[in-house]
Chains A and B, each alone.
Chain A
């Protein structure tokens, strides 16, 4: 029973994003005999030593431990909170089923759509209800024949509002196991209460959290820069003897090559072409990514930065280098192109037309955008052209991952780019751990 419970906790940690391998589990279970299992602190320290392997994971681990090994009173409180959350979800679904009725039968939409519907403002809900009612009572028609069309229209309507309203600051991937899900939910809630910045959507950070985020961003960028420079310095280790230098330095030994001299290889650093969407709600993400990548300036050959909406503008390195995050947001806001609609196609075409020389086989193109653009097919065509000329295209997408499947543009662009989520610092950290540049 105890082992089963501990195993369940390790699974919870995995769900929270901690990488726990079989060998770490084995270490933990092998070590239990050395501690007093009844002592909560000893158990926590043992787990921290054997299964947590990153400083950044310690807080997550502690919060999960607190939830899982809570005392009776805390357990009741957490259970109430979970119950409350579930009730709200259930009520939301019920309301959607009652409201969204076509020809006296509820329409068939996903559970997620039902919950989202309940979150909409009264006027928006009324609009959908009115549409369903009017459709039901239309003249000279067979309502059931039109049901699939009506359902699709309601889904599109909800999709439209989802695009307009940025929701979901906390992404919890529930497992379906009510016990684990309760702990997952409570751990996430506790992390949010603790002001856990890395897991929070960048646009939702308050002033204090923003300061913390800036500090973490610098730290992350430093680690990223180290990683890039280390990788490129590896080429130096492929040792080739420099015959001329070896002979010259061994003349004193009568030509016997006592001291060997090696050739040094040239280090080739990548160039980055950064294309950043600054339309509407993108500003916070855009500023973060621009700042983040410019901290890498020394590790890469050069960075050219463009911001775009319906038009495109080049930002100078000097402008970016001398600004902190808040000032950078100010620069973007002052730009005449800020806040307009999005036309990625125009931006990509302009770069190929006017800055053709920037696209070489050494260039890594990084596009920062939520993919919500006009002319999706034309944009795809431009991406194909660029992918043939540049080393690779990385797409950093601040749209929450659970919404990706609702967007055709995401699916289309993913075929020609490597797309990564980037709406939290945690995403940026994951990006660092992937060898992307």
Chain B
């Protein structure tokens, strides 16, 4: 995974390894931007396979996630099959695979090879949808009343991510191997910056990682800077040809680190760049 530029630690590697060995879905939690979705992408890349992504949202139902009958096509088929006297003479089964629209979940178990299925931000769906996923996640099969049960020939590697906006059901958690990705240590973030921002100097990378670490531990923000914000900031500083983080450059680039105006104002008022740079040394 590190060859793909994804910096890992023992806990992460072991959790992924166990999920693969037990052939169970991996439930990844953590603040936005710590690399949950990226983990699925990296796994697809490591196994050289497709990544099928289901982005969850409030109101997502099985028609959008699993399958849908192509109602328009069925209707047209009925219209075509009418003879001159208006009688319907359909030769084809309207509930066959020809009229089935495959959505990501069905696609992931129907493909003739092992895929990585990413069910992103599962906490944004309704509890009802979670319960619907049980069959797929434990038996890797789905039941379509008109067609019967479709079982996966190659069990996909399933990664579920959650920002913990709501508590997931015990049933879902029981079916998964759990991994919580926390904000990284200074050392780990330094390695991430070095891997993801080519050409950055060690001095700048270290200063960026220690400054972000200091912000995370000292400042109470609506949205703390995540790894993705750290990388954006490191890239910005590199583009500005900064050799080190100064008060001036930090003040000018605070909008890269914080995604909320209130956080920027509060940071300036309560802590300020001078103090944070001093404590991060």
Interface residues of A (CB under 8 A from B): 19, 21, 23-24, 27, 30-31, 34-35, 41-42, 45-46, 48-50, 52-55, 58, 211, 215, 222-223, 226-227, 230-231, 233-234, 236-237, 256-258, 260, 432-433
Q: List 5 A-B contacts (CB under 8 A).
A: A54-B173, A55-B180, A226-B123, A234-B128, A237-B128
Query: Which residue in B17, B75, B128 is a CB contact (below 8 Å) of A258?
Result: B75
Q: Does B18 contact A46, Cβ atoms closer than 8 Å?
A: yes
Q: Which residues of chain B come closer than 8 Å to A260, judged between CB atoms? A: 71
Q: Which residue of A27, A49, A237, A257 is within 8 Å of B14 (Cβ)?
A: A49
B58 interface contact, C-beta 8 A:
yes
Q: How far is the CB of A238 from chain B (nearest CB, A)?
A: 11
The CA-CA distance from A24 to B164 in the complex, in Å, is 20
| CB-defined contacts of A23 to chain B, threshold 8 Å | 174-175
Asked if B67 lies at the interface with its beta carbon under 8 angstroms from chain A, I say no
- With A23-B174, A55-B29, A230-B166 known as contacts, the answer to whether A34 contacts B17 (CB < 8 A) is yes
Chain B residues whose CB sits within 8 angstroms of the CB of A41 once the complex forms = 10
For residue B79, CB closer than 8 A to chain A, the reply is yes
Task: Tell me which residues across on chain B come within 8 A of A54, comparing CB atoms.
Answer: 167, 173
Interface residues of B (CB under 8 A from A): 10-11, 14-15, 17-19, 21-22, 24, 27, 29-30, 58-59, 61, 71-72, 75, 79, 123, 126-128, 164-167, 170, 173-180, 220
**Interface contact A215-B220, CB-CB below 8 Å:** yes
Set A21, A49, A227: member contacting B179, Cβ < 8 A: A49
- Shortest beta-carbon distance, B219 to chain A, in Å? 11
In the complex the two chains form, is A226's CB within 8 Å of B126's CB?
A: no
Q: How far is the CB of B177 from chain A (nearest CB, A)?
A: 5
Instruction: Report if A46-B126 is in contact (Cβ < 8 Å); known contacts: A30-B22, A258-B72.
Output: no
- Contacting residues, chain A, for B126 (C-beta < 8 A): 230, 233-234, 237
CA distance A230 to B56 in the complex (A): 13
Report chain A residues within 8 Å CB of B17: 34
Contacts of B170 in A (CB 8 A): 19, 21, 53
On chain A, the residues within 8 Å of B18 by CB distance are 31, 34, 46, 49-50
B58 x A50 contact (CB < 8 A): no
Nearest-neighbour CB distance to chain A for B21, whole angstroms, equals 5
Contact A42 B75 (CB under 8 A): no
The chain A residue sitting closest to B127, CB to CB, is: A230
Residue of B nearest to A52 (CB): B178
Give the residues in chain B near A233, CB-CB below 8 Å.
58-59, 126
Q: Which residue of B lies closest to A58 (CB)?
A: B180
Q: Give the shortest distance, in Å, between B74 (CB) and chain A (any CB).
A: 11
Chain A residue nearest to B138 in the complex (CB): A23
Known contacts A21-B170, A27-B22; is A45 also within 8 Å of B14 by CB?
A: yes
CB contact under 8 A between A45 and B58, given known A226-B166, A234-B126: no
Contact A433 B72 (CB under 8 A): no
* Distance A53 CA – B172 CA, assembled complex (angstroms): 10
Specify the chain B residue showing the minimal Cβ separation from A56: B164
Tell me the bound Cα distance from A370 to B17 in angstroms: 50
B178 and A48 contacting across the interface, CB-CB below 8 Å: yes
CB contact under 8 A between A24 and B174, given known A45-B15, A223-B164, A256-B75: yes
| Distance from B54 Cβ to chain A, minimum over Cβ atoms (Å) | 18
| Cross-interface CB contact of B167 among A30, A42, A211, A432, cutoff 8 Å | A432
- Please name all residues of chain A whose beta carbon is closer than 8 Å to the beta carbon of B11 when the two chains form the complex: 45, 48-49
Contact across chains for A433 and B180 when beta carbons are under 8 A apart: no
**In chain A, what residue has the closest Cβ to B27?**
A53
Q: How far is the CB of A24 from chain B (nearest CB, A)?
A: 6
In the complex, A282→B49 CA distance in Å?
59
Q: Across the two chains, which residue of chain B brings its CB closest to A49? A: B15
Contact, CB under 8 Å: B59 / A237: yes
Q: Are B220 and A211 in contact (CB under 8 A)?
A: yes
A34 near B29 (CB under 8 angstroms)? no
Contact partners of B166 in chain A: CB under 8 A: 223, 226-227, 230
Additional A-B contacts beyond A21-B170, A55-B164, A432-B167 (19; CB < 8 A)? A23-B174, A23-B175, A27-B22, A45-B10, A45-B11, A49-B14, A49-B18, A49-B179, A54-B167, A55-B30, A223-B165, A230-B126, A231-B127, A233-B59, A234-B126, A234-B128, A258-B71, A258-B72, A433-B167
Bound together, the chains give a CA A230 to CA B35 distance in angstroms of 26
Residues of A within 8 A of B220 (CB): 211, 215
Q: In the complex, A260→B75 CA distance in Å? A: 12
What B residues does A231 contact at CB under 8 A? 127
Bound-complex Cα distance A24 to B127 (A): 21
Most B CB contacts (10 A, CB to CB) among A54, A222, A227 go to A54
Note all chain B residues with C-beta closer than 8 A to A222.
Answer: 165
Residues on B with beta carbons closer than 8 Å to the beta carbon of A433: 167
Inter-chain contacts of B128 with A (CB < 8 A): 234, 237
In the assembled complex, the Cα of A110 lies from the Cα of B135 at a distance in Å of 51
Q: Shortest Cβ distance from B24 into chain A, in angstroms?
A: 7
CB of B59 within 8 A of CB of A31, answer no
Chain A neighbourhood of B22, CB < 8 A: 27, 30-31
A258 to chain B: which residues have CB within 8 Å?
71-72, 75
Give every chain B residue within 8 A of A223 (Cβ-Cβ): 164-167
On whether the beta carbons of B61 and A237 are closer than 8 Å, the reply is: yes
Q: Give the distance in Å from the alpha carbon of A42 to the alpha carbon of B17 in the complex.
A: 12
Contact residues in B for A211 (Cβ distance below 8 Å): 220
Bound: A125/B183 CA distance, A: 53
User: In the assembly, what is the distance between CA of A190 and CA of B85, in Å?
Assistant: 84
Q: Shortest distance in angstroms between A36's beta carbon and chain B's nearest beta carbon?
A: 11
